[in-house]
A = this chain, B = another copy of it.
Amino acid sequence: MTRTKVAVVGASGYTGEELVRLLLTHPNVDLVVATSRQSAGKSLAEVFPRFAHSKNATALRFSDSGAKQIATDASIVFLALPHGLAAEFAKPLLSAGARVLDLSADFRVKDADVYREFYGHDHPAPGLLSKSVYGSPEIYRDRIREAQLVACPGCYPTSILIPLRPLIRRKAIDRKTVVVASLSGVTGAGRKAEVDYLFSECNESVRPYGVPKHRHLSEIEQELSLLAGEKMIIQFTPHLVPINRGILTTICAEIATNVVKMDPAVVFRSAYGEEPFVRLLGDARLPDTKDVAGTNFIDIGWKIDKRTNRIVLMSAIDNIVKGAGGQAVQCMNVMLGLPETAGLT
């Protein structure tokens, strides 16, 4: 079996490092390019001491290759770049025939106006928006298979869309009453030298941020509206908590008035019973980020609150794995016709 050559562009951040970790040990692909402007010339093993034992990590050096060269060297390219830059980089890659998995926000939102509203600048490649597939395998598996451009979802959207989807599709909840609180680990802020994310600023600190209009709302509401068949607007409050990895999301919504009796266990088992990375906790257990750390799983729990006629959905993911690099590799597996769990267990 021939092995696929893959590249990671912008490989020195947390998401890039996680992609490197997964791709170095993936049974069916070879990581042949990893770019990083500030680390160019150094081996992966030097920059990431945790990979020091890996022969591939010792042999492979960071480059600052351009898109054309990368498209020659690899057939699958992961972009772990800031938004704006990612779209610019994607254009020549796509023209050169590479298949691209973009982990930035650049191709998630289909509407260039919404992009401008939430990201504050014009979209650098609006013509490509219609070509991209939102990289949530649980929702778009079939379209991902054929896609040339996959827009991997953000970490918050992943933790919100997967639990809400079966209930929205069945119209089991009142779509106007969705209130979400998410708690994110600090890797979510990226490996950027900013005072706000210093250890001593985050340790012994819990704080909301991005209230009331966090950028991820654009893609969350787009996808929820597609599922609902009508415009959906939700309340979303992200919080920063002092853990490295993990997002815990709690979603409250009123049960729709026409629903006489709902058994969430049946609903979720029907939607996700066969999904390799969705673990249903039932209503006997609640999710905990430490149970998913380092894995590609999403754990989902729920409670019906009879006093308030609401359902409380709770999910946990590793923001850097299922919320970023792991889900991207899962998409790649779909694109290549590999077992979806290859390299992820």
Q: Measuring CB to CB, which residues of chain A are less than 8 angstroms from any residue of chain B?
A: 14, 25, 49-50, 52-53, 177, 179, 181, 183, 185-187, 191-195, 197-209, 211-213, 233-235, 237, 239, 241-246, 248, 250, 252, 276, 279, 281, 285-295, 297, 299, 303-305, 307-308, 310, 312, 314, 316, 345
Name the B residues within 8 Å of A239 (CB-CB). Answer: 183, 248, 250
Q: A50-B295, A212-B304 are known contacts; what are 9 more A-B pairs with Cβ within 8 Å?
A: A183-B206, A187-B200, A204-B243, A204-B289, A205-B289, A205-B290, A211-B312, A212-B307, A235-B308
In contact, B204 and A198 (Cβ under 8 angstroms): no
Copies in the complex: 4
Cα–Cα, bound, A294→B303 (Å): 33
In contact, A212 and B303 (Cβ under 8 angstroms): yes
Nearest-neighbor residue (CB-CB) of A186 within chain B:
B199
Cα–Cα, bound, A289→B299 (Å): 28
Q: Residue among A187, A200, A241, A287 with the most chain B CB within 10 A?
A: A200
In contact, B213 and A288 (Cβ under 8 angstroms): no
Nearest chain B CB to A217's CB is how many angstroms away? 9
Nearest-neighbor residue (CB-CB) of A289 within chain B:
B206
In contact, B244 and A288 (Cβ under 8 angstroms): no
Q: A186-B199, A207-B248, A305-B235 are in contact. Are A291 and B241 (CB under 8 A)?
A: no
Cα–Cα, bound, A235→B314 (Å): 14
Name the B residues within 8 Å of A308 (CB-CB). Answer: 212, 233-235
In contact, B307 and A213 (Cβ under 8 angstroms): yes
Nearest-neighbor residue (CB-CB) of A205 within chain B:
B290
In contact, A248 and B206 (Cβ under 8 angstroms): yes
Cα–Cα, bound, A186→B202 (Å): 11
Cα–Cα, bound, A181→B183 (Å): 10
